[in-house]
């Protein structure tokens, strides 16, 4: 069983890496001022949001998630990215569509890193 601190640090790393990759792929639509510290802090904020707020949002939107066969999770992930952008002003996401695309990228990065870490154990 992994320790909670390690799991949170891994989530923080994945969120930061996902934001950085999303900013590179969606050039100009996610702006962090080319400062590494902005990505690190935004990754921390997004990890905290995903740990504390996202479970409640998923619970409240469970009917929509079930009805859409899970596709509504893209909207939920986009909302979490948009919330992180709203809470941390140096990270600027240009709109909800961009936030949803960033949520998809972060989800894919999370899947890949989790798969790699599980294979290492």
Is 2 part of a structural domain of the chain? Answer: no
In a domain, 1, yes or no: no
The model's pLDDT over 86-108, given as tens digits with 9 standing for 90+, comes to 999 999 999 999 999 999 999 99
Phi, psi at 30, each rounded to 5°? -120, 115
Could you report the per-residue pLDDT of 31-80, keeping only the tens digit for each? 998 899 999 999 999 999 999 999 999 999 999 999 999 999 999 999 99
- Residue 59 resides in a domain: yes
Asked whether residue 28 is domain-assigned, the answer is: yes
86 located within any domain: yes
Q: Which residues lie closer than 8 Å to 13 by C-beta, 6 or more apart? A: 43, 113
Residue 121: its pLDDT value, please?
A: 61
Domain of residue 110 covers 7-120
Split into its structural domains, the chain has a count of 1
Q: pTM of this prediction?
A: 0.89
């Amino acid at each position: 069983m992994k320790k909670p601190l390690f799991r949170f640090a891994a989530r923080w790393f994945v969120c930061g890496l996902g934001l950085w990759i999303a900013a590179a792929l969606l050039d100009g639509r996610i702006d962090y001022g080319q400062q590494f510290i902005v990505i690190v802090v935004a990754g921390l904020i997004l990890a905290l949001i995903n740990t504390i707020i996202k479970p409640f949002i998923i619970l409240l939107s469970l009917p929509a998630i079930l009805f859409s066969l899970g596709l509504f999770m893209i909207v939920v992930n986009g909302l979490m990215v948009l919330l992180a952008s709203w809470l941390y002003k140096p990270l600027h996401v240009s709109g909800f569509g961009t936030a949803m695309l960033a949520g998809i990228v972060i989800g894919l990065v999370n899947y890949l890193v989790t798969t790699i870490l599980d294979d290492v154990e």
